[in-house]
């Protein structure tokens, strides 16, 4: 995308949403090296009055959508907002998640149970058959749930609900690493060597969620049907970075990994990006991984569906593309054949998990963000850390 196109998009956003009274968001433009800000439009403020009754922040971005949480800590609104088209989608109440009451009882911010949000469409029209999949976590009880919501424009807001799945603990314990909808299949990376699809069922009616055909799960619910492929990165011997340990919750930390991302290349390949940090000692008591410096990022191409094939193939160069990865936004690639868009080719732009700071009004800078240069195998940090990457989607 050329620099002129990026500037046009930013101007479009600013002109359309610059009339609100309460909430201001900041964008950092890589091409211009400056911040832009805009306010939520009046019709959004009128529809979501809780915006004025508590902190409002963006907890994730996905395929052109901002995932916003607005209102008081114990009962906020959660909704999707496209700043270009001004379309919004109200999501079901967070209080319908089973362990939300625990957060309320402990006087914790209920939005903190949102671990990952991914939005995608299973049709060619991005506003039809829109699915939001969210990983909710209960840090107090070490529990994690996968929830789907059908956000199709034909479904009334009051009829939307979270369809919740678990696996008898098989995907609990901070094991969901990344998600990506690619070629009609929702890929989910997990990190649990004990994962068994036979235990994967709905937590609401205790029934299996669907059938496994050719290593792809056909997820069938009352609201939608989604093809889903769960990739357990621990089971793949071709991923040499993984070193199991006794504590299954921390094997990624022990192995020196901080995050694992899924992304699609500009040529349509499915990529897995490993974000490595200084490894923890197995006797280390400090669970705060953010004190460890990111040292290297590596990329592997995911070969296909078959369990018997060599699923991962190492990639040493991105050629004329740049990758953008973040725990709180879907990862993506763009052409970078020149410096017109402010991006360098053969590089990975990365940010750390700053969700704990997203609801704060001040700008927070982290060392755990920057640009990884593939050829030189080094990191430079030339820009303030944006907690989220945002890739606009120009819809018809």
| Per-residue pLDDT tens over the stretch 150-169 | 888 778 888 888 888 765 44
Shared domain check, 244 and 274: yes
Q: What is d(CA 210, CA 227) in angstroms, rounded to the nearest whole number? A: 10
pLDDT at 89 over 90: yes
Among 15-19, 25-29, 119-123, the least confident range: 15-19
Question: Could you tell me which residue, 275 or 278, shows the higher pLDDT?
Answer: 275
Please state, in angstroms and as integers, the Cα–Cα distance from residue 321 to each residue in 28, 175, 264, 272, 344, following that order. 20, 30, 11, 15, 8
HSE value, Cβ hemisphere, 13 Å, CA-based, for 269: 19
**Number of domains comprising the chain:** 2
Which single residue is written with the structure tokens 């694992």? 260
Mean pLDDT value across residues 174-179: 78
Residue that terminates a domain, selected from 232, 250, 267: 232
Percent of the chain with pLDDT over 70: 62
Shared domain check, 260 and 279: yes
Residue that terminates a domain, selected from 212, 232, 252: 232
Q: Is residue 30 part of a domain?
A: no
Band the pLDDT of 240: cuts 50, 70, 90.
very low
Contact 371, 382 (CB under 8 A): yes
Q: Is residue 28 part of a domain?
A: no
Q: Which long-range contacts (CB under 8 A, 24 or more apart) does 360-366 make?
A: 363/26, 366/290
Shared domain check, 315 and 253: yes
Shared domain check, 359 and 286: yes
Q: Is residue 39 part of a domain?
A: no
Locate 71 and state its tokens: 């209102």
**Range of the structural domain that residue 228 is part of:** 91-232
Q: Spell out a b/e string for 8-38, using b for 16 or more CB atoms within 10 Å of the CB, else e.
A: ebbeebeeebeebeebebebbbbbeeeeeeb
Q: Which long-range contacts (CB under 8 A, 24 or more apart) does 375-381 make?
A: 375/317, 375/346, 377/296, 379/294, 379/295
Please state, in angstroms and as integers, the Cα–Cα distance from residue 163 to each residue in 34, 120, 160, 273, 285, following that order. 41, 16, 9, 29, 36
pLDDT at 214 over 70: no
Amino acid 250: pLDDT: 42
| Element at 14 (helix H, strand E) | helix 3-16
pLDDT at 133 over 80: yes
Q: What is d(CA 103, CA 107) in angstroms, rounded to the nearest whole number? A: 6
Shared domain check, 147 and 291: no
Mean pLDDT value across residues 306-335: 81
Q: What is d(CA 218, CA 229) in angstroms, rounded to the nearest whole number? A: 9
Contact 320, 338 (CB under 8 A): no
Shared domain check, 221 and 278: no
Q: What is the pLDDT of residues 348-380, one digit of tens each?
A: 998 865 554 444 444 444 556 788 899 998 888
Residue that terminates a domain, selected from 173, 208, 232: 232
- Cα-Cα end-to-end distance for the chain: 18
Amino acid 288: pLDDT: 45
Mean pLDDT value across residues 9-37: 57
Q: What's the chain's average pLDDT?
A: 73
Shared domain check, 280 and 168: no
Q: What is d(CA 57, CA 360) in angstroms, rounded to the nearest whole number? A: 8
Q: What is d(CA 18, CA 358) in angstroms, rounded to the nearest whole number? A: 21
Shared domain check, 378 and 256: yes
Spatial CB neighbours of 258, under 8 Å, sequence gap ≥ 6: 252, 275, 276, 277, 289, 292, 294, 352, 368
| Local structure of 327: helix, strand or coil | coil
Shared domain check, 277 and 183: no
Shared domain check, 284 and 144: no
Amino acid 13: pLDDT: 42
C-alpha angle 232-235-239 in degrees, rounded to nearest 5: 95
Q: What is d(CA 90, CA 80) in angstroms, rounded to the nearest whole number? A: 6
Q: What is the dihedral of CA 127, 165, 78, 349, to 10 degrees?
A: -70
Mean pLDDT value across residues 51-60: 82
Shared domain check, 265 and 194: no
Could you tell me whether strands 225-232 and 185-190 are parallel, antiparallel, or unpaired per DSSP bridges? parallel
For the whole prediction, is pTM greater than 0.75? yes
Among 19-23, 81-85, 342-346, the least confident range: 19-23
Q: Is residue 213 part of a domain?
A: yes
Q: What is the pLDDT of residues 135-150, one digit of tens each?
A: 988 777 777 788 889 8
* 3-state percent breakdown (helix, strand, coil) of the chain, nearest 5: 15, 35, 50
pLDDT at 5 over 70: no
Shared domain check, 323 and 359: yes
């Amino acid at each position: 995308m050329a620099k002129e196109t990026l500037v046009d998009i930013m101007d479009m956003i600013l002109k359309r949403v610059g009339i609100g009274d309460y909430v201001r968001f900041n964008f950092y433009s890589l091409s211009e090296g400056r911040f832009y800000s805009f306010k939520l439009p009046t019709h959004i403020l009128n529809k979501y009055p809780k915006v004025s009754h508590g902190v409002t922040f963006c907890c994730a971005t996905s395929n052109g959508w901002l995932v916003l949480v607005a209102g008081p800590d114990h009962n906020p609104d959660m909704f999707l907002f496209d700043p270009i088209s001004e379309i919004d989608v109200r999501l079901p109440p967070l209080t319908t998640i089973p362990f939300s009451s625990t957060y309320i009882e402990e006087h914790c911010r209920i939005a903190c149970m949102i671990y990952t949000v991914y939005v995608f469409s299973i049709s060619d029209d991005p506003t039809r058959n829109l699915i939001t999949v969210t990983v909710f976590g209960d840090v107090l009880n070490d529990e994690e749930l996968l929830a789907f919501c059908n956000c199709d424009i034909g479904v009334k807001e009051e009829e939307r609900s979270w369809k919740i799945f678990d696996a008898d603990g098989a995907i609990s314990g901070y094991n969901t690493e990344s998600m990506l909808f690619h070629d009609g299949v929702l890929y989910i990376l997990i990190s649990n060597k004990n994962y068994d699809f036979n235990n994967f069922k709905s937590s609401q009616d205790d029934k299996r969620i669907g059938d496994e055909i050719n290593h792809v799960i056909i997820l069938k619910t009352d609201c939608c049907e989604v093809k889903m492929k769960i990739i357990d990165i621990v089971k793949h011997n071709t991923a040499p970075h993984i070193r199991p340990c006794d504590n299954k919750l921390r094997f990624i930390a022990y192995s020196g990994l901080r995050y694992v991302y899924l992304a699609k290349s500009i040529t349509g390949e499915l990529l897995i990006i490993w974000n490595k940090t200084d490894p923890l000692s197995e006797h280390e008591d400090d669970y705060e991984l953010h004190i460890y410096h990111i040292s290297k990022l590596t990329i592997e191409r995911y070969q296909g569906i078959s369990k018997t094939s060599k699923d991962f193939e190492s990639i040493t160069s991105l050629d004329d593309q740049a990758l953008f990865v973040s725990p709180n936004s879907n990862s993506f690639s763009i052409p970078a054949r020149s410096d017109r868009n402010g991006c360098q080719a053969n590089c990975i732009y990365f940010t750390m998990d700053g969700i704990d700071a997203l609801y704060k009004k001040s700008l927070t800078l982290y060392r755990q963000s920057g640009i990884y240069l593939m050829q030189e195998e080094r990191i430079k940090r030339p820009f303030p850390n944006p907690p989220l990457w945002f890739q606009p989607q120009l819809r018809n």
